[in-house]
Structure 1
Amino acid sequence: MASNIHYQRADYESGLDENSPLITGLTGRKPELKSRDGTASAMATFGLGFSIMWAQALIRWFASPTEFQPAPILGPDVIEPWRLVSLRIFEALSVGVLLAHIWYCVLVPAFPYLRNFKATDEPHQFTLDGRHVLGGLVALCADGFLNCHQYIFMWNANSINRGVWAKFLPFHNHLSSSRYGESLLWGPPMYVYFCAGFGILGCNMAKPLRKRFPDLSNAGIFTIIWCIEFVMDFVIENLAIRITHGYGYAKTYRPLTLFPEQVHQFPIYESVFVASLGLVFTAMRLKAYDTGRSPVEAGFEIWHPSLQGTVRTFAVIGFSAGAVLIFYHLPLNWLGVIGDCYADMPSYMKPGPVE
């Protein structure tokens, strides 16, 4: 019976129809309204606020006579010499990866001469990749939220460290110890290569995948990229945890934990969160191919030309920090706090006393 029903366009007075604007008199302002579309201002505001929070935490951390000190290495356990050497190698490799990102994503576009060390007419640029690198380093602030209520993420006090800035962030439980060793050499690089790095890698995978499977939907392409990044994170993290004891997961949600109650226990949702985070950066980078800017930068044109670059930068910082919080820290903290699977921690991975 439904097939016999005929739909007709409704007739309205004054020649109006379904396509007419709800509020008259605005049809001639489409270009103006289009220029005001976007989220750049809102994202930049969040990025600026997050940067201020990070700056005050760093200043107070540096000035603290108790917090800006290497975390105490508790006994009686002593890290094996071969494992300590592996930890130092991991730190060196991580710093190398970070420097490579800074060189190719920030310095070379900003100073094209550095590409081949020859004079060039290329314009100086601060690219989306460079902004993603900067955004990752600012988002590093959120690492202080990992153990803000409970010690769910364990750190090796033998890492090169100066304690942690957690005590100077909002929501920190002052009954929880902040005397653990946030790594200065492999911690910051992770926020760069799991965000900006996975974004670049995902885009480089998307192109050949599209060429190989032209009929595959965007969702299909993203699913393949997500699976690859999931496996990469799983392999990288499990090797790092097992070989170096650089870090680990002290308290996890048991039903989703592999190797439970071992020092190297691994919550499978960690790789889910990291792969999802990397995919978001991949999507932002892919969206920037056509327009030259990512969706989070849309609308920066309404600002004075002298401020547009700054607004774009803080918008990307806001996106990076928000993505890290939403896709990683909030779910990881929730599953850790409600978890009941405790790792068998060596003493050098336990926090010092509350001060």
Structure 2
Amino acid sequence: MTSLETRTGTDRSGSSDPRRNHAVLAWGAVGLVWMAVSLRAAYGWVTSDRDFGPAEIMPGDVMPTSSLVALRVVEVASVVVLLTAIWFLAVKPWRKTREIRIEGLLVIGGIFGFAMDSWLNLYDFLFAFNAHSVNLGAWSAHLPFHNQGVPTEYGEALLWGLPMYVYFCSAEAALGLGVRARLLARWPRMSETLALAVMFVFFFVFDFIAENIIIRTSEAYSFVRTEESLTLWAGEQHQFPLYESFLVACVAMGFAAIRLSAERDPDGRSFIERGVHHLPRWSVQPARLLAATGYAAVVLMMLYHLPFNWLSLGGDSFADLPSYLTPPF
């Protein structure tokens, strides 16, 4: 068997010659770079006299009581969902096998991906955060490529912002894969393409409903500038660009794809982990974590942040915002 594998250039998982397969190292390198960027931004932020601290709430800047209560509910619920996702996707599987599976590693990757959130306002102020959210300012000025003309005196929501990088990524992917499994179990002759298409529609609808409930009940955030032809309720405080749900669905598909890759591999390794079994034992888990972080960063950047900025920068619909959501120009 060993000689046959050598002659055919395959390993146990069916991948190409492991001497030529450095996927885990390539993705790990990307993850290492993103971790360095994230930590550098965090360090610059927490040591900044200007940027680190709660966003200023102007005198007389009062939210409706119902919206403020809803905002606190969103924050608490988001933390609960985050902890639940960590338990079911990372901790519980680890307790069984003493190894964090790829879905658990992607949770960690999504948490590091939260550092990218300030890139929503990379070139212009496109996304407004409610100053009444629990926050300690924003780190946008400490990320690469930030336009110095864009204001940074706003508050990144910590209690609902970070969880979104888990429940709209890893957790939503898990739900979508559950939908796919039920479809294929109910209709065994359904094609994989159709099942995946239904899963994408599920992601789109799930995001559209969830985000609009959050926006309208809690006023947690607002899309400041959008492309009017692709926006519902254009010009209103609650205007909603349809490309938001489309891009979130693309991200969820990216997170689901990596899990499908692992499910289809005989060794349970996703394509970003190829070659990991040839690394020294002590480096296997760090390499997998770095690879998952790199993959999460690439998916978030290429499927959400860059296209969101590109579509919104040329937008001609501006939201009518209250003072607690007004961009600090």
TM-score range, shorter chain: over 0.9
Aligned AA (2:81): V
Which of 265, 272, 277 is the matching residue for 2:239?
Answer: 265
**Structure 1: distance between partners of 2:153 and 2:217:** 24
Query: Which residue of 1 is the match for residue 70 of structure 2?
Result: 86
* 2:3 paired residue number: none
> What CA deviation, in whole Å up to 9, does each residue of 1:123-142 have, x standing for no partner?
31111121011010011111
Give the corresponding residue for 2:293. Answer: 317
Aligned-residue offset at 1:219: 1.3
| 1:144-293 correspondence runs (5 A) | 144-291=118-265, 292-293=268-269
- Give the secondary structure class of the aligned counterpart of 2:180: helix
Structure 2: segments with no counterpart, 5+ residues: 1-5
Displacement of 1:308 in angstroms is 1.6
Report how far residue 37 of structure 1 moved: 2.4
> In structure 1, what residue type is equivalent to 2:25?
S
SS in 2 for 1:351: coil
Paired residues of 1:75 and 1:348 also in contact (CA < 8 A): no
Q: Which amino acid aligns with 1:71?
A: A
Rounded to whole Å, the distance in 2 between the matches of 1:248 and 1:296 is 35
SS for the counterpart of 2:289 is: helix
User: One-letter code of the match for 1:294?
Assistant: S
Name the SS of the counterpart of 2:118 in structure 1: helix
**TM-score w.r.t. length of structure 1:** 0.86
Once residues 329 and 283 of structure 1 are traced to their aligned partners in structure 2, the CA distance between those partners, rounded to angstroms, is 19
Normalised by the size of structure 2, how large is the TM-score? 0.92
Q: Secondary structure at the match of 2:51?
A: coil
CA RMSD, 1 decimal? 1.7
1:178–1:351 CA contact under 8 A, matched in 2: no
Matched position secondary structure for 1:146: helix
Contact kept, 8 Å, 1:68 with 1:163, in 2: the verdict is: yes
SS in structure 2 opposite 1:34?
coil
Partner of 1:352: 328
Contact 1:75–1:347, Cα closer than 8 Å, also in 2? no
Aligned: 1:340 with 2:316: yes
Q: Contact 1:38/1:295 (CA < 8 Å) preserved in 2?
A: no
- 2:281 is equivalent to residue 305 of structure 1: yes
Share of identical aligned residues, percent? 37
- Residue 127 (str. 1) matches residue 111 (str. 2): no
Q: Give matches, 1:52-91, under 5 Å.
A: 52-74=36-58, 77-91=61-75
Deviation at 1:109, TM superposition (A): 3.0
Residue 29 (structure 2) aligned to one of 23, 45, 63: 45
Report the AA paired with residue 160 of structure 1: V
Letter in 1 for 2:42: L
Uncovered stretches (5+) of structure 1, i.e. residues with no partner: 1-26, 113-121
Q: Secondary structure at the match of 1:248?
A: strand
SS in 1 for 2:300: helix
Residues 102-121 of structure 1: pairs in structure 2 closer than 5 A: 102-110=86-94, 112=95
CA deviations on 1:54-110 (whole Å, 9 max, x unpaired) are: 011111111111111111123665211111011001100000001111222222333
CA contact (8 A) 1:71 1:352 kept: no
Question: How far apart, CA to CA, are the structure 2 residues paired with 1:290 and 1:31?
Answer: 16
C-alpha separation between the residues in 1 aligned to 2:63 and 2:138? Answer: 21
Q: Establish whether residue 34 from structure 1 lines up as the match of residue 10 from structure 2.
A: no
1:205-250 per-residue CA deviation (whole Å, 9 max, x = no partner) reads: 1111112222222111110011111111000000100111100100
One-letter amino acid of the counterpart of residue 334, structure 1? W
2:271 corresponds in structure 1 to: 295
Q: Report deviation, 1:303.
A: 2.1
CA distance in 1, matches of 2:187, 2:93: 32
One-letter code aligned to 1:177: P
Question: Which residue does 1:119 correspond to in 2?
Answer: none
Read off the aligned partner of 2:287 and give its amino acid letter: V
**Which one-letter code corresponds to 2:69 in the other structure?**
V
CA distance, structure 2, for counterparts of residue 299 and residue 271 of structure 1: 35
Distance 1:323 1:74 in 2: 37
Amino acid at match of 1:96: V
